[in-house]
Structure 1
Amino acid sequence: MTDEIILTDLHSHTTASDGQLTPSELIERAIEKGVKVFAITDHDTTDGLAEAHAYNQAHETPLTLIDGVEISTRWNSFDIHIVALKVAVDHPALVSFLENQRSLRSERAKEIGERLHKAGIEGAYEGAKEYAGDAAISRGHYARWLAEKGYATHTANVFKRYLARGKTGYVPNNWGSMANAIDVIHQAGGVAVLAHPNGYKLSAKWVKRLVREFKEAGGDAMEVVLGQQTIDDRSQLIALSVLNNLSCSLGSDFHFPSSWIELGRNLFQPQGVHWVWQSKRWMEAK
């Protein structure tokens, strides 16, 4: 990349995980929205990337498409996500790691279904599985089914009432450590990015601790510009990245078309920021 501002979105999801657009549909939408550099970062899988590349290359004006994956980890009992960018998707360490992640997802999904069943909500596992298709079942799939069946007005309310910590369908995560995930990302030649640091409902003090320990575990960058955030939030995250010597990333975390999240929307690139694509690890990656 040059100093020219190029519309970049490095966090998105397809039907390979809990997104609602196929990889081809997502690429088409990104092109329509004027995105030039784009990463698909499905939860714990790279299964959508082959289709995405095939469709992208067949397009008249292809994107610069970055291979990515969003990895779930455990930190002080919290689900913490790490976006891996520019990974070699066929690297044995990454392939083995993601196979294990899918197994862990399957175990957790079944337990969620059992807990909802015991609470009198029948058919939730089967309903979530129908939404998931060939993808691993996630809480997002459960949320869609529960909302469709009228247990809440929309998916966000489903999480609050049934799937959040302490609620009926909540199952503690069973992921590995941040350090292990970062090590695998580096083995696969990728860049490890802390996803949406303000999205875990942590106090400011705990966010600072999370960012510090992410860096200590070998992390490379953190998301500081998101599709929905205040100017103060953005400034605070940029300051945290500087304090911890982390590069900065940005992304919409797009899952489906909506009025509040869109590919490339509000992904500003403030001047004076050290972006992840300017980092040595990024430039050394394939």
Structure 2
Amino acid sequence: MKYIDLHVHSNVSDGTLTPKEVVEKAVKMNLAAFALTDHDTVMRISEALNAVKEYQNNGIDLELIPGVEISVAYKSKDIHMLGLFLDYQNETLISELQAVVNDRENRNIKMIANLQNAGIDITLEKLVESEGDSIITRAHFAKYLLEHSYVKSREEAFKKYLGEDGPYYVPRKFITPEKGIELIKAAGGIPVLAHPLLYKLPPKELDSLISRLKNAGLVGIETIYSANVDFDESYVRKLANKYDLLITGGSDFHGANKPLIEMGIGKGNLRIPYSILEKLKEYLTNK
């Protein structure tokens, strides 16, 4: 049996491994394929592809699916849309994602000012210095606060300083779900609703949201996921069947930023069969 992982992050967004190191991890975990889905960016997918080619040239069978995880607006919060099998060189996609990144950077500057007013010694330069080319997210803020002893854990950082309900948080401007789906499809990709149960929506509201997204061109829904418990997977499978959506699966691997989640196996019992990838490929062939 061959296994895959269609939701993986590198340090280009809020993971801790470089794209090349993510490829090395995939080989170590004996995966047949994985998708690199960094937040709001397709930067350095080529780096991962080059690393995969080196392994392939040495007889190791590994596939990389170029992807992205786009934050889109839903009421007063954001939801996440995965794009799989993207043309990561698509100019429109790159331009629109850069606009999203620019807005994130403006938000970061405002959050830094709020934290400075609270007596925290933090600047954008210090964050960038420690994170290199990574797109700075709240995960990087949490890392900084922890490393500089303002908090004792990442959880405390979010609860005390970075949470959406806190006094230092600055909301972002998000594109609409319809726009996110449009961008993914225009780049030749498959739009997938990521981890639908993490949004904690009442069942009727979640059903209504999926109906709306389906009408906008949604193709898949992330069904096999690290955070699933009890009957979560079967519940999402029913939604997939109801709206004729393809199922996908992913660990949401972030390296040390989510230490309990391992690539390919999640919290230990995650298994995503290669047959799921075959159905996605079949969709692309027949669309």
TM-score by length of 2: 0.89
Question: Which residue does the alignment assign to 2:284?
Answer: 282
Question: Which residue does the alignment assign to 1:199?
Answer: 198
Q: Secondary structure at the match of 1:130?
A: helix
Structure 2 counterpart of 1:261, one-letter code:
I
Question: Which residue does the alignment assign to 2:79?
Answer: 80
Whole-angstrom distance in 2 between the partners of 1:210 and 1:150: 41
Whole-angstrom distance in 1 between the partners of 2:207 and 2:131: 35
Instruction: Call closer, same or farther: CA 1:130–1:201 in 2, change over 3 Å.
Output: farther
Aligned residue pair count: 278
* Alignment map for 1:121-270 (pairs within 5 Å): 121-123=120-122, 125-257=124-256, 259-265=259-265, 266-269=269-272
Q: Secondary structure at the match of 2:81?
A: strand
Deviations for 1:195-225, whole angstroms, at most 9, x for unmatched residues? Answer: 1111223333433333222222211111011
How far is 1:124 from its partner? 5.2
Question: Which residue does the alignment assign to 1:41?
Answer: 37
Whole-angstrom distance in 2 between the partners of 1:149 and 1:205: 44
Question: Which residue does the alignment assign to 2:19?
Answer: 23
* Contact 2:33 2:64 survives alignment (8 Å): yes
* Contact 1:73 1:175 survives alignment (8 Å): yes
Q: Secondary structure at the match of 1:46?
A: coil
Q: Secondary structure at the match of 2:22?
A: helix
How far is 1:97 from its partner? 1.1
* Contact 2:181 2:217 survives alignment (8 Å): yes
* Contact 2:68 2:83 survives alignment (8 Å): yes
Deviations for 1:38-59, whole angstroms, at most 9, x for unmatched residues? Answer: 1101111111211111111111
* Contact 1:125 1:142 survives alignment (8 Å): no
* Contact 2:39 2:68 survives alignment (8 Å): yes
Q: Secondary structure at the match of 1:11?
A: strand
Structure 1 unmatched ranges of 5 or more = none
Whole-angstrom distance in 1 between the partners of 2:271 and 2:230: 10
Whole-angstrom distance in 2 between the partners of 1:76 and 1:241: 23
Q: Secondary structure at the match of 2:206?
A: helix
* Alignment map for 1:2-21 (pairs within 5 Å): 5-21=1-17
Structure 2 counterpart of 1:264, one-letter code:
G
Q: Secondary structure at the match of 2:262?
A: coil
Whole-angstrom distance in 2 between the partners of 1:124 and 1:140: 15
Whole-angstrom distance in 2 between the partners of 1:269 and 1:14: 20
How far is 1:103 from its partner? 0.9
Q: Which runs of 4+ in 1 moved over 6 A?
A: none
Sequence identity, in percent? Answer: 35
* Contact 1:81 1:194 survives alignment (8 Å): yes
* Contact 2:226 2:270 survives alignment (8 Å): yes
How far is 1:127 from its partner? 3.9
* Contact 2:223 2:236 survives alignment (8 Å): yes
How far is 1:276 from its partner? 6.0
Whole-angstrom distance in 2 between the partners of 1:169 and 1:276: 41
* Contact 1:124 1:145 survives alignment (8 Å): no
How far is 1:261 from its partner? 0.3
Structure 2 unmatched ranges of 5 or more = none
* Contact 1:68 1:84 survives alignment (8 Å): yes
* Contact 1:69 1:85 survives alignment (8 Å): yes
Deviations for 1:62-115, whole angstroms, at most 9, x for unmatched residues? Answer: 411101111111111211111100011111221211121111111111111122
